[in-house]
Structure 1
Amino acid sequence: MDDINGGLGAGITLLSDGHKGLLQAVKERCPEAEHRQCARHIVPKFNKRGVMEKIKSIDTHAYGYLIDRDPTTWSKAFFQEGRDCDVVENGVSESFNSAIRHARRRPIITMLEETRLFVMERIYTQRVEGIEWDLLICPTIRKRIKDLKVKQRLWGVTPCGYQKYEVRFTDVAYGVDLIAKKCACRIWQLIGIPCLHGVATISYLNHDA
């Protein structure tokens, strides 16, 4: 934190693999930072409401284990908004470690030099690739939005205020605020990219050309 002038960690999100003692260490050293744990080190994907209660009814020990791991560090329900990142696994760092695995076997100076060259070449390659994009939005995000534009057709949109809308499918509804770029599902706030309901609202207004 001293190296990056991070202070108490305000505005910083840390993602770890849950090493013993790390949760407490981060709380003491960076009390204002958001600390997330890689979900793959804790539990398989949870995608149904009430799953914790179901686990508790089946196995109290499993429930206790998950609670002890501090749900605020691995459940999106507790993630802070405005970070433009909803990542719950540390695949980026693991991919980097895999890329430099041979360099890590070298003496320290050689390892650092090979790592520097790898990063330098990687940055250049990505920059060249980005220059060739025909739009300001990267291909991955464009594909994501394109897929959402197909799925949103099942949702109905009803205006309920200035630039505010209710997006509904059967008995499920979410409020969307286009000015604030917010949705009740919180996905838009977490990742900084319109969610399904946001895309439905934008399409309703024909602003998606």
Structure 2
Amino acid sequence: MQWCRSHFSTTIPWFQAEMKKLQDLSGPAFDWLSRLDPMQWCRSHFRTHSKCDILLNNMCEAFNKSILDARDKPIIALLERIRYYIMLLMAIRREAMEKWAHDVGPRVFTTLEKLKKQSA
């Protein structure tokens, strides 16, 4: 089975070759993908200054730990556990946000105020 691996491409020439394969395989898919900014979905176009995925990795590890007890359950029980976890997390965060005195979080607000004072 043929398929396009353009999102795995790490160089522009490889990306272009994979996009050509996609165009030969499916014109409409190529047209749709061509309208999207490759900086948002293809490694060959990602910015090079960011070298660490620690934030995403930490989020994944925290999520995996939170569902650890449900991972060996049947799929419906697993999905219910994930649904419950996410709903609880959203409720806890909403409750915390309602206590904010400003439109942004307290740490962000403090940082913005410091920057405002420095530039004045």
Normalised by the length of structure 2, the TM-score is: 0.54
Matched residues in 1 for 2:76 and 2:9: separation?
33
* Percentage of pairs with the same residue: 22
Residue 53 of structure 2 corresponds to residue 88 of structure 1: yes
Contact 2:102 2:109 (C-alpha < 8 Å) held by counterparts: no
Matched residues in 2 for 1:205 and 1:105: separation?
55
Gaps of 5+ in 1: 1-21, 37-69, 80-85, 150-198
Gaps of 5+ in 2: 1-6, 20-32
Cα deviation code 1:73-122 (max 9, x no counterpart): 574x2x6xxxxxx9732211221111111111111110001110111111
Contact 2:9 2:42 (C-alpha < 8 Å) held by counterparts: no
Structure 1 or 2: more helix by fraction: 2
Residue 8 of structure 2 corresponds to residue 23 of structure 1: yes
Runs ≥4 in structure 1, deviation > 4 angstroms? 27-31
Structure 1 or 2: more strand by fraction: 1
| Matches for 1:17-56 after TM superposition, within 5 Å | 23-24=8-9, 32=38, 33-34=40-41
Please provide the CA RMSD for this pair: 3.6
Matched residues in 1 for 2:119 and 2:52: separation?
30
1:203 equivalent in structure 2: 117
Number of aligned positions between the proteins: 89
Residue 74 of structure 2 corresponds to residue 107 of structure 1: yes
Matched residues in 2 for 1:123 and 1:111: separation?
18
SS in 2 for 1:135: coil
Matched residues in 2 for 1:204 and 1:113: separation?
49
Structure 2 vs 1, CA of residues 140 and 103 (structure 1 numbering), >3 Å: closer, same or farther? farther
Paired AA for residue 203 in structure 1: K
Contact 1:103 1:111 (C-alpha < 8 Å) held by counterparts: yes
Structure 2 vs 1, CA of residues 126 and 203 (structure 1 numbering), >3 Å: closer, same or farther? same
Paired AA for residue 98 in structure 2: I
Matched residues in 2 for 1:131 and 1:97: separation?
28
